[in-house]
Structure 1
């Protein structure tokens, strides 16, 4: 399939598009899945796997991994793509960092992912809880590598700095979509403010990651430009996946992007100079994230694939 651009129509009013066969998802089953399910419930933890209706929850939980969402499960923002509830959040739970650390310890995972809702009502944007959680996880789980998928903290770099000072192995902040669609997709966010956060992270020694969704009306040229922007602002790892409408109240899918097109964006990303590009219909930010920690791994794998094809 050739890589054609998406429609430029208003993304909130397009008719429903039929889901293709390549988007089949396995139901969550198995002993490991039930074990993780029990730990999450027992420790009263929030996971973006559930709140975000992630299509890979069965696979990841079946392998004994999960992405924990701190600072509650109610967000102060109302992004058009996100299934997380919007409203007035509960008070900050200062015991949450230790509970998350204990759950990760009980799960015996080698790599964990933390994310959070936006807490724009807090002066520190929730960055103190972020710092405390990272430190608690690393204290109790010294051999566990950690990725942190952070909000933009409204561009207040003193709050971003708290995450930097906690020294997670990877810091991720998702750009989500191309510049033109940002106002519709991420209503309270700004494209270049997110780029500033990513650049700040890189300048302060972090391994930096970001992600983008396709199928919201973007063109091929806009996707490629976004990949260039991410690379130019210090991003090492990029994930590219298909947007799936969580409910009828959320933005409509404009187009289901064929796997061949995702493969093309992977090639383009590596040719630009990105260190790791994860691209496919069911790819989400934390999918295979344990591999994203390793500098050079993705590019070496890609080069080996190309060498074998030549042979």
Structure 2
């Protein structure tokens, strides 16, 4: 069946009942909010309008976003602001490490905006942050969700030399939709990041959004290609439109279809698959490793 041409089970202008997220509340949520604000840090939870913010912050965890909150790219699915970033904040690695310690994280997830205006794409800040988090939190696993560094292998090596525990880079969508969804990125370049990390011996992870216009056979083909690289962990989630200026939702993917894609991905060789409407890159990240 071609999923993109099938009659939708739910109107795309209304969220279906299976997309209800937890409302932010509780003392641990308030503590995380204060911690992020007091340390002048950014989170992808807030900047990308993650639907799981309430659940994760109420558990005392957040995904830190380094290198500021202004991205040099204009991906048409992403809520993070696009523009000219400010100066690099070299104290940010220390504050990130302190925030991880304050949250008591056993598994810390770090991500960043794209900083294409910097000669190294922000690789030096990435490396400094990984090392600072490691020094302050020696028993914490560090998962990084990195940009593609414009395909510059030397910049990627700077990050990998800091020895994170897991390397994540999202391909986001099927090859046909890449230029539409993320115009400054390239599918083959993203596969190259995953191949390079795998060659260096790092556990690897990637993710795709569904419901943005892809076809069933394209999803299956993309999963096979990623599996052939040897990527260990896969996340599949529903695309949610951040604003009317972003790409429209093509369809709501049902929990049953997500379960089917998980079954296929496991057969293809992925070691762990998180697949569901509200799944995002760092959702249940600690459980994926365990």
Gaps of 5+ in 2: none
For residues 5 and 110 of structure 2, what CA distance do their matches in structure 1 show? 34
State the secondary structure of the residue aligned to 2:105: coil
- 1:127 touches 1:163 (CA, 8 Å); kept in 2? yes
Change (3 A) 1:88 1:5: same
8 Å CA contact retained: 1:7, 1:254:
no
Query: 1:147·1:168 contact (CA, 8 Å) conserved in 2?
Result: yes
Pairing 1:46–2:25 present: no
The answer to whether the 8 A contact 2:227-2:269 is kept is: yes
1:6 aligns with 2:27: no
1:102 to 98, 101, 110: 98
- Give the Cα–Cα distance (whole angstroms) in 1 for the partners of residues 12 and 18 of structure 2: 17
Of stretches 223-232 and 48-57 in structure 1, the one that deviates more from structure 2 is 223-232
Task: Check if 1:192 corresponds to 2:206.
Answer: no
- Answering whether residue 36 of structure 2 is matched by residue 32 of structure 1, we say no
Counterpart of 1:163 in structure 2 is 159
Contact 1:169 1:293 in 2 (8 A): no
Q: Is 1:71 the equivalent of 2:67?
A: yes
- Matched residue, 1:177: 173
Task: Report deviation, 1:208.
Answer: 0.3
Name the CA distance, whole Å, in 2 between partners of 1:168 and 1:63: 23
Moved >3 Å (runs of 4+): none
Q: Distance in 2 between matches of 1:208 and 1:46?
A: 24
Residue 74 of structure 2 is aligned to residue 57 of structure 1: no
Deviation at 1:158, TM superposition (A): 0.8
Kindly state the Cα deviation for residue 4 of structure 1 after the two structures are TM-superposed.
Answer: 4.6
Corresponding residue to 2:247 among 251, 262, 270: 251
Once residues 72 and 81 of structure 2 are traced to their aligned partners in structure 1, the CA distance between those partners, rounded to angstroms, is 9
Q: How many residues in Structure 1 have an aligned counterpart in Structure 2?
A: 286
Shift of 1:18: 2.4
Q: Root-mean-square deviation (CA), in Å?
A: 1.3
> 1:239: how far off?
0.1
Partner of 1:237 in structure 2?
Answer: 233
Tell me how far 1:17 sits from its aligned partner. Answer: 3.3
SS at match of 2:164: coil
User: Aligned partners of 1:277 and 1:162: how far apart in 2?
Assistant: 28
Counterpart check, 1:120 vs 2:151: no
Matched, 1:217 2:202: no
Query: Contact 1:152 / 1:197 at 8 angstroms: preserved in 2?
Result: yes
User: Partners in 2 of 1:18 and 1:102 — Cα distance?
Assistant: 41
**CA deviation after TM superposition for structure 1 residue 60, in Å:** 0.5
- In structure 2, how many angstroms separate the alpha carbons of the residues matched to 1:26 and 1:96? 30
Greater length-normalized contact order (CA 8 Å, ≥ 6 residues apart)? 1
Q: Deviations over 1:102-160 (max 9, x none)?
A: 11111111111000000000110000000000000000000111110000000101111
For residues 149 and 293 of structure 1, the distance between their equivalents in structure 2, rounded to whole angstroms, comes to 15
Q: Deviations over 1:213-244 (max 9, x none)?
A: 00011011111111111111221100000000
